[in-house]
């Protein structure tokens, strides 16, 4: 089994948070069509916050400032032909702009009020994360 560590960003800007939807074109996708927050796998030589900043830039074109640690979650998805253990570390991040430029791994984005995600299907961690993050937003 492969172990991956990922850093994820709950990005806020002017009272709203950023959600992004995983595209069916994402080769390593395990949550196609579901809404998530930006972030991804940390490289072995990276510090967690440095990897977070890089991943957010790659996925949505935003420069962010990582802040409070919001939580740590894990799961056991199958990625390609491999069973994996993925540990996700979530940080509250501030963006200076709401101008998003998505990578090909995602096909839509939305800036929403934290308590109003609508009828979007969220990845499993996100409901619990949003509940715990409300005290910061």
- pLDDT digits over 114-129, tens only? 888 888 999 888 888 9
- For 47, residues 6+ apart whose C-beta sits below 8 A from its C-beta are none
| pLDDT attached to residue 10 | 97
CA terminus-to-terminus distance, the chain? 37
Domain boundaries along the sequence of the chain: 2-133
Fold of 2-133: Nucleoside Triphosphate Pyrophosphohydrolase (3.90.79)
Alpha helices by DSSP H, listed for 10-115, are 48-60
Buried/exposed code over 51-76 (b: 16+ C-beta within 10 A; e: otherwise):
bbbbbbeebbebebebeeebbebeee
Please write the tens of the pLDDT for every residue from 42-94. 999 999 999 999 999 999 999 999 999 999 999 998 888 889 999 999 999 99
Please write the tens of the pLDDT for every residue from 12-35. 999 999 999 988 776 666 677 899
Query: How far apart (Å, rounded) are the C-alpha atoms in residues 24 and 28?
Result: 10
- For 67, residues 6+ apart whose C-beta sits below 8 A from its C-beta are 91, 92, 93, 94, 136
The helix (run of H) or strand (run of E) holding residue 66 is strand 64-75
| pLDDT attached to residue 25 | 74
The helix (run of H) or strand (run of E) holding residue 125 is helix 124-133
């Amino acid at each position: 089994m492969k172990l991956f560590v990922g850093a994820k960003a709950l990005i806020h800007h002017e009272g709203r948070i950023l959600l992004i939807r995983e595209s069916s074109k994402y080769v390593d996708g395990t949550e196609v069509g579901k809404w998530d927050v930006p972030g991804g796998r940390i490289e072995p030589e990276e510090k967690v916050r440095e990897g977070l900043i890089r991943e957010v830039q790659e996925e949505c074109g935003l420069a962010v400032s990582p802040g409070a640690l919001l939580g740590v979650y894990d799961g056991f998805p199958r990625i390609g032909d491999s069973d994996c253990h993925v540990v996700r570390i979530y940080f509250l991040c501030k963006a200076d702009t709401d101008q998003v430029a998505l990578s090909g791994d995602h096909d839509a984005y939305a800036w929403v009020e934290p308590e109003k995600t609508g009828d979007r299907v969220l990845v499993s961690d996100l409901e619990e994360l949003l509940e715990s993050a409300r005290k910061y937003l």
